[in-house]
Structure 1
Amino acid sequence: MNTQKPHTILVLDDDPVVRSTMAAFLEDEGYVVLEADSGESGLEVFRCAHPDAILLDWRLPGMSGGEVLSRMCEEAPTTPVIIVSGTDRMNDVVDALKRGAWDFLTKPLREFSELSASIQRCLERARLLREEGLRRENLEQQVRKRTEALEEANAMLRRQIAERIEFEKALADSEERFRQLVENVREVFFVRDMNTGAFLYVSPAYAEVWGRSCASLYSDPEGLFSTVHAEDQEKFVQAWDLLQKAHKPFDVEHRIVRPDNTLRWIRGRAFPVEDDRGVPYRIVGIADDITNRKTSEEKIRSSLKEKETLLKEVHHRVKNNLQLVSSLLNLQASYIRTPEDRELFLESQNRIHSMTLVHEELYRSDDLACVEFSDYLPKLTQKLISVFSMGKDIRLVTDIQPIFFPVDTAIPCGLIVNELFSNALKHAFKGRDEGIVCLSVKRDQDNIKIIVRDNGIGFPLDYEPDAARTLGMQLVHSLVDQLGAFLDIEVDTGTTFTITFHAPNRCTLVS
């Protein structure tokens, strides 16, 4: 008979039909369901009822789903929050995962089995995280207690050695007390003679962990090394040699092979014990069975790997979709007869290409949160030169620091450079066969400076930046405002655009 308490699920959605439909399904699955129709009421239920998992709509009236998600993750980081929303915007998906969402499902759900599977995965992961936290806390407490006991025994031993003639008797008394202390614990304790290599004491837990009798270890001390897994033999032997020859503490995690060929993970720690002359003569150690901890860590690593793979796939699909849009614009442009209209399509293609490059860089990168801007810009500018140079000899001079930008900074910066660079190629060198465009990106303390400079004909003297009517310049001003940046335009022997903004928190220089 299963007496396990059913899990409680909070369904937070402003659509009563969707809310009641999911509630009915979950109740049929055996869950206890709580409902809320707004962020404020959902937080109140969350804090009072402490549900095991939350199904959260991303778009809510009043308090947004993102704000609700952030508060829930801050207050209960091990409680799964699954986004179930009708939004298909990639920014919303990425934002939700960054804020701490455990999964993201898109409404309408094609199969409720997908929802059930997501809940089960998240509940299992939450259980493992909580168990791992408790296990680590208990292990640390046990280690502290055992260490204190060993230190107390060692101090007691030193105090008792007043005369050399009483040394053996005092040691025997100490070993007896030590034996009584450790024989009822799960960790394996041992005492080994440093000169002969013989084991003077091995706690009974050795038989349970190693699957071999303590007598076998007493009779064959070197047999301990043969139980170590072949792949861990080298590091085990090296650490043990350092303990015996250089008297350095031994602390190694390794695998052992039991007689039935099953594997166990062991963390072994040992240190030398000195006699009254300060000469090491014995080794005292402890070995913990950490198999369960290693298994849990592997499950967590696997879960994180799945999440990284999912994000890479998201960027890959976004890149493909943007390339499809660019191809459709190119196809449509072939039917346009007016050069001015065809140029508008070409400009739109280049803007899409600048965004496509960001997602392509993320897909190829090991860091899914940031784009290496110094690698991204040369690809973008070379594309623009090939499109807009029109047979002119345009030389590009770059001074770009290797900087990583987060996605929400890289895209607007890429679009700004796209507009300013293409504008220079199209208009700055009219009546000339050659020209120079300089591109600089640098970090100055807490600020980022992007400079696009050309040696062309420059803007007219009566040009007013705020009154610009072209779509490109309007887009530049809009993106500058989005970044919270300042735009400075200088017209001398050419035109210089300087965009200055505060470096984002996740902006880093490549070492």
Structure 2
Amino acid sequence: MTAGPAAPLLLSVEDDPQVRASIVTWLEDSGYRVVEAADGPAGLAAFRAHAPDLVLLDMGLPGLPGMEVLRAMAAESPRTPVVVVSANAAITDAIGAFKAGAWDYVTKPVLNFDVLEQTIRNCLERRALREEVRRVQERHRTLLQSVPVIVFTLGPGADLEFINGTCQAITGYSPQQALAEPGWLLAHTHPDDRAALAQALEAARAGPAGALHTDFRFTHRQGYTLHLRARGLERGADAPGAVAGVIADLTESVFLEKMLVQREKLNTLGAVTAELAHEIRNPLTSLGGFARRLAEAHPDLKEAGIILEQALRLEHLLERITAYAAPVPVRMQRASLTALLTFCLDRLSPALARRRLALRLRLDPALPDVHTDPDLLTETLAAVLSRLAEGMGAQAALTVSTRALAGHARLDLDLDDPALAEAAEAAASGERLLMPFEEGGATLGPALAHRNVKSLGGHLALTPRPRGLTVTVSLPLADAQRQAP
């Protein structure tokens, strides 16, 4: 047989033994469990030891006045009902007791215990209702703080009035930091998106509730870029000019979409490259042979030398195309990207020191291992870092950051160089750097670096920026690779 819920536990604090005995007897006959005390100190001790569901408290207590006992109980446990049972029927005493924290007031002698019982039931029901309201509010607060989106409210200005705890999980800033910084949301929005977001917020203030609908980039506290989407919520009628909304993190989906697009582009490029190399090789061999014969037969013929020079140039280009299309042998295993990257940076440190270039490291200490070929990856990373160092000016800075994202380890190499051209000029070279037709210089070229990373199951992307460039390398995590079907 399953035991039912325990009967409420009541505490009777009464100095008159006969009155206390009658109250205790009646309460026990009514099915309550009872603890009793004869003075103020004993009452407080029993209150703290037993945590009763309700207290019946006399005001005229020895040792410690009843009003002091009442204030102490109300301060320590305001959710515990305290019913004052007093011989003083003055209204001023009742008002004082209510101000001190009493839930109800009953005068002595208690002539009708039914009235006392109803008072007890009413107080216990009020306590249960308050507890239920508190639990609902706590669940709501917990849900609001833990939903996987940022919930925020902006006041009539640009300052936050509320933001939930998910703020820290997504942006790296705690709610306290975000609320304390004036204009926090706009201040950390990407400069290229700031005006558009400010305009969207202003339109949301003037428009109907829920009118906010915009995507923007935001700088994480660790310095990397997030892709966020803001949507409006219903706002209260008492908050004119305020904007309430939610912000979702789209970074993973944007990242995966870009990776998929680049892989499709490079797959197509690889197929075209192989076909192109095959189609060029036969006529190029004939052209080169005839150019050599012509140059030997007519050494003074300037045109023959030009034809031979261009034929040799085409042969060199064909070698690069063939190298790009050739499969790369890899031996995949579990490895630490942080360890490999640290090794490459150690090798690069003398060159950086000579050039007095700033190096900033934002490496995730908890980054999981990747599934890769350590030797090939080390060679590729060293080549990319060396190539960046070769092109950096005296005032340049290189920020190296890592993090886990969407089953991948992501490495960002952010180059800030005042000597670089504006974005329009940089963008013209950004796409070309991934093609196999660009010269590689003294080190492994970007096209072959991209080919190597692709062979490791990842991708490499170059994103030109005003006065800068970002190289992103993504590699599959070892655990994600093991779980894949």
- Shorter-chain TM band: 0.3 to 0.5
Larger Rg: 2
TM-score computed with the length of structure 1 as normaliser: 0.32
TM-score computed with the length of structure 2 as normaliser: 0.33
